[in-house]
Amino acid sequence: MAVKPTGVQTNQGYAATDDFITRTHVLPLLTDKATRERLIAEHRGNPIGKPGKAGKAGIQHSEDLARVIDKLRRAPMAGKYVRICVELHKDYRIGIAAGVRGKPVKMLANRYPSEDACEHAIFVKRVDDLLASYGHKAR
């Protein structure tokens, strides 16, 4: 007779909390078309944030965009999109992580000319996947 795993073993507490946060604080930002397009445009202009220099403050993401990015970062490593540098400053690609140390990353075909362009493409893919996982139509 197989023993059913406990809620602790399946991480139910974390999953339920993450789902609540997503439904309450993230999905409303992404299901509203105008807000989603504003966040995507903001991310396109500043995908990874800009550090401060010469005594000037860095340029951070808005609170709404930071909330969405934080949600996307909480995803498990298996199946997560990652940036791969094929040729420095010329060729970046999106990979899909296996989630197991030592296993190769599956590389997708599209090429991007910069880190920022690749990071933005990853962001858009993650947003679309998140919306689809909650039964919403992606862009």
Q: Which residue has the higher pLDDT, 71 or 49?
A: 71
Structure tokens at 36: 């989603």
* Predicted structure pTM score: 0.87
Residue 81 lies in a domain: yes
> What is the distance between the alpha carbons of residues 65 and 87, in angstroms, rounded to a whole number?
29
Residue 64 located in a structural domain = no
Q: Does 53 fall in a domain?
A: no
The whole-angstrom separation of Cα 45 and Cα 73 is: 19
Does a structural domain hold residue 122? yes
The predicted-structure confidence for 101-116, as pLDDT tens digits, reads as follows 999 999 999 999 999 9
Per-residue confidence (pLDDT) for residue 98, from 0 to 100? 95
Beta strands in 1-139 (DSSP E): 81-87, 91-96, 106-112
Does residue 132 surpass a pLDDT of 80?
yes
Average pLDDT over residues 18-25: 94
Helices (H), the chain: 12-21, 27-31, 33-45, 63-73, 115-133
In a domain, 120, yes or no: yes
Inside any domain, residue 28: yes
In this structure, is residue 40 part of a structural domain? yes
Is 115 buried (19+), middle (13-18) or exposed (0-12) by CB count in 10 A?
middle
User: How many folded domains does the chain comprise?
Assistant: 1
pLDDT category at 139 given cuts 50, 70, 90 is low
Domain that residue 105 falls in: 15-45+70-133
104: three-class secondary structure by DSSP: coil
